[in-house]
Amino acid sequence: MAVAPCRSTKPLPSKVSQESLTTQEVEIRREAIFVCLFPSPDLREAHVNHIPEHHIAKISSAAHAFTVSSGMAALDVILRLLKPGDEIIAGDDLYGGTNRLLTYIKTHVGVTVHHVDTTDPSTLHAFIHPSKTAMVLLESPTNPLLKIADLARISKDVKERAPDAVIVVDNTMMSPYLQRPLEHGADLVYDSGTKYLSGHHDLMAGVVTCNRDDLAKQLAFIINSVGNALTPMDSFFLLRGIKTLAVRMDKQQSNAQLVAEYLHALGFDVHYPGLSEHPGRDIHQRIANGNGAVLSFETGNKELSEKIVGGTRLWGISVSFGCVNSLISMPCVMS
């Protein structure tokens, strides 16, 4: 006997409309009405991206959700909120693509970037300026060393010292199923939908969520202006992946726990919040509902690492993660 997770007893297939133009019937008023491919909030019900965004908002404890063409496109949209002279505080262990984009805006946009150890909230205090600090960018767990940041405490500390600063969290390593940073004080949260939300390595997508209406309005304008909203077909695939997110994550993180314990028993330095020895375990358990399916370990020898990566049979070699097949990589040479 199969029990459905909702009241409905009928299957609810998702409809995909392979169109780039959505029409709406609107009452003609004296003021000009601007209807475009990325409709205004009152017209979003008719837009092809509305359905996955609606579901993403619900599972993220968010009032607003936006889907774009990739995880880095999501971060790019967010960083466009900054202007020359602004300062951003970011972690010292970040996804390689994030570092590249931060370096670009530091060089070409005139934004100052401070990298700090976010495992100790007090390290941020020296860099927080009441008017200059415009954004704080966090990962927890970080990629690739799985450091843990106390999202709640950092958000509180920053808001007390720089009320206008926007707290941004990259939640890709957890997904909304395991962690919802908006519940802990974050203003903006983004995920690479290519990873856990997709789950099948057949699409690229990015997701941004928030509860603030002012930020949502700015994000909608930027996405409309840049033109990097998610395509109809990718929206369909993203929604399909979300439907199996919980089932996949539960199994993936249970497998990751076994692998982490095995590598730890072999004497490797393993980074995974599911291990009792992890320094940020207590904080992580307070802000998350699971440990995720990504772990990293150090061999102390580059040649040995290359031998391990090249010798695995169950793991494909790739810098991605989060899908139904297992992957392995060497971030020091691949990211």
pLDDT digits (tens, 9 = 90+) for 246-263: 999 999 999 999 999 999
pLDDT tens figures, 188-219? 999 999 999 999 999 999 999 999 999 999 99
Contacting residues for 298 by C-beta, under 8 A, at least 6 apart = 268, 269, 271
- Check residue 331 and give its pLDDT: 83
- What does the block give as tokens for 51? 């359905």
- Report how many helices (DSSP H) and strands (DSSP E) the chain contains, helices first: 10, 11
Assessment of whether the complete model's pTM goes beyond 0.85: yes
Cα distance between residue 63 and residue 212, in whole Å: 8
* Residues 6 or more apart in contact with residue 58 via CB below 8 angstroms: none
* Model pLDDT, residue 12: 53
279/179 Cα distance (integer angstroms): 19
Q: Show the low-confidence residues of the chain (pLDDT under 70).
A: 1-49, 335
* φ/ψ of residue 34, rounded to 5: -105, 105
Q: What topology is assigned to 38-335 in CATH?
A: Aspartate Aminotransferase; domain 2 (3.40.640)
Helices (H), the chain: 50-59, 71-79, 96-108, 151-161, 213-226, 232-243, 245-265, 281-287, 302-311, 331-334
- Domains of the chain, by residue range, sit at 38-335
For residue 332, the model assigns a pLDDT of: 81
Q: Which residues pair with 113 in a beta bridge?
A: 88
Residue 116, token pair as written in the block: 């700090």
Residue 85 to residues 99, 175, 266, 283, Cα–Cα distance (Å): 19, 32, 49, 34
Q: Which residues contact 43 (CB under 8 A, 6 or more apart)?
A: 24, 26, 35
Residue 18 has a pLDDT of 56
CB 56, CB 112: distance < 8 Å: no
